[in-house]
Amino acid sequence: MTLFEGLRVISFEPPALSEPMDVAAASPGEAGAGTIVETGLGLAAKYPGAKRVRGAYLSPGLVCAHTHLYSALARGMMVDILPSKDFAQQLRHLWWRLDRALDLPILEASALAGCAEAALCGVTSLVDHHAGPEAIDGSLTVIRQAYEEVGIRGILCYETTDRNGMEGARAGIRENLRFAREIDADRASGRRPLVDAAIGGHAGFTVGEETLASLAEAMRSTGRGLHIHAGEDKFDAVDSRYRYGQDLVQRLEAAGCLGPKTIIGHGVWLTESELGPLNASGAFLAHNARSNMNNAVGYSALLHRVANVVLGTDGMSADMLEEFRFAAFRHRESGGPWWPGDFLRCLDRGNRLMERYMGAPVASGSGAFGRVIAGAVADLVLWDYDPPTPLVGGNIAGHLAFGLSSRSIRSVMVAGSFVVEDRVPAFDAEAIAAKARKEASRLWERMERS
């Protein structure tokens, strides 16, 4: 048991700041394992054996709703990359060369490095979208092991695509199904895995009708949602209308691929007529402001009309507060109507996504994510923050946009266990970084030869 004593609790949605209070979180193996068992005052007498932790502020952990751990070793890449005139060339010149060069040891190093960085940034749930066409079988289990070594939660899938031939597409579907069954078997035997499975597709323009139908069938048979890029670049939206005579969302809807567990990556080029079916389905749209800016794919004037916007990094650094700030600032620059508080709601909404996949982790708890209440998952961040202006419920988004940053993170807890405590990671961060540098060099060499 861990007892956080006398801290003010920051709630993101609705934004609120509590008076000093105690929060008791159960460790693995105890009653209520992995959840918050009680909040209130004077809990020290009730839990005399608990580890006592003091600090300034406690908040729910952060959720990254869309990333690519396979790109973690691209940082500072020294490979001869042809200049690209557009997004499709960028995929061919860089990202598809990178994913073809991945083998399982490189993937393991990349996933560990990405998960470690996320944990240090207070990200307790990380939703990954994986591609690696030369090493598909078993890849999601390699990524899962990295999540478990670092100790964070996530939802994993393989980006099924036709771009490497139909056998490659079938291998992608197989890996998604295999992994969903692996998780189901664990749950059936009473274990509570930190990760769940989604069904992955790369993007509308690389997934033909046969593969889209197979993805829909995989969703139905596993009870999972589709995680796919749609309308990241204008090319994807144009291709859908040109080849299939339908907008992307209508095409996904017709195939049976929209639903409350579906995650659409980017959606920069979705049009007015796609908002209705998207919002009615309950699907999430993962907005990745920094990546969209870096790839110069444009900005959606409709973002504020999407019901379930969540925030992701798309493989940029794992810092979700930085992502939140870019999202808010880029939106202000576009002249859109949202304020930082609206993006705080988007950041918090990643918890609803986690609940739809992983809700009710213990029989006694509500299974809520993103709440510091009894029964919610004990995914928490302890902040050292000494602001120069008053911090109150009404200005939390302002402090996040203009002050609070990941350098204020002191400790991070996932499912009742510290993954970072007093700024010291519980995992071997130095070994993870050393392994990543070694495998990064090998990855770059393999890319250079491709």
Interaction site with Zn ion (CB under 5 A): 265, 314
Q: Is 272 helix (H, G, I), strand (E, B) or coil?
A: helix
Q: Which of 357, 302, 372 is nearest to 334 (CA)?
A: 302
CB of 237 to Zn ion, least distance (A): 16
Q: Which residues pair with 264 in a beta bridge?
A: 228, 285
CB of 157 to Zn ion, least distance (A): 11
In the bound state with Zn ion, the residue whose beta carbon lies nearer, of 265 and 398, is 265
Residue, CB closest to Zn ion: 314
Residue 227 and residue 129 in contact, taking contact as beta carbons nearer than 8 Å: yes
DSSP H or E stretch at residue 8: strand 2-12
Amino acid letter, 188 = A
In the bound state with Zn ion, the residue whose beta carbon lies nearer, of 196 and 314, is 314
Upper half-sphere CA count for residue 5 (Cβ side, 13 Å) = 15
CB of 434 to Zn ion, least distance (A): 28
CB of 69 to Zn ion, least distance (A): 11
CB of 266 to Zn ion, least distance (A): 7
CB of 232 to Zn ion, least distance (A): 7
In the bound state with Zn ion, the residue whose beta carbon lies nearer, of 259 and 265, is 265
CB of 66 to Zn ion, least distance (A): 6
In the bound state with Zn ion, the residue whose beta carbon lies nearer, of 38 and 232, is 232
The most distant pair of C-alpha atoms in the chain lies apart, rounded to whole Å, by 68
CB of 68 to Zn ion, least distance (A): 6
In the bound state with Zn ion, the residue whose beta carbon lies nearer, of 201 and 425, is 201
Handedness of CA 87, 92, 94, 100 (dihedral sign): positive
Q: CA 334 from chain center: how many Å? A: 25
Residue 419 and residue 429 in contact, taking contact as beta carbons nearer than 8 Å: no
Q: Which of 267, 266, 309, 255 is nearest to 288 (CA)?
A: 266
In the bound state with Zn ion, the residue whose beta carbon lies nearer, of 314 and 355, is 314
In the bound state with Zn ion, the residue whose beta carbon lies nearer, of 130 and 224, is 130
Residue 247 and residue 271 in contact, taking contact as beta carbons nearer than 8 Å: yes
CB of 20 to Zn ion, least distance (A): 41
CB of 203 to Zn ion, least distance (A): 9
In the bound state with Zn ion, the residue whose beta carbon lies nearer, of 292 and 411, is 292
Residue 281 and residue 376 in contact, taking contact as beta carbons nearer than 8 Å: no
In the bound state with Zn ion, the residue whose beta carbon lies nearer, of 36 and 203, is 203
Neighbours of 52 (CB within 10 A): 15
Which residues are CB-neighbours of 56 under 8 A, at least 6 positions away?
7, 8, 383, 384, 385, 386
Alpha carbon dihedral 208, 128, 308, 178, in 10-degree steps, equals 60
The Cα–Cα gap between 59 and 412 comes to 10
In the bound state with Zn ion, the residue whose beta carbon lies nearer, of 15 and 265, is 265
In the bound state with Zn ion, the residue whose beta carbon lies nearer, of 50 and 127, is 127
Q: Which of 64, 147, 82, 134 is nearest to 106 (CA)?
A: 134
Q: Which residues pair with 398 in a beta bridge?
A: none
Report helix, strand and coil shares of the chain as percent, to nearest 5: 45, 20, 35
Q: Which of 370, 353, 333, 347 is nearest to 287 (CA)?
A: 347
CB of 401 to Zn ion, least distance (A): 24
Residue 384 and residue 421 in contact, taking contact as beta carbons nearer than 8 Å: no
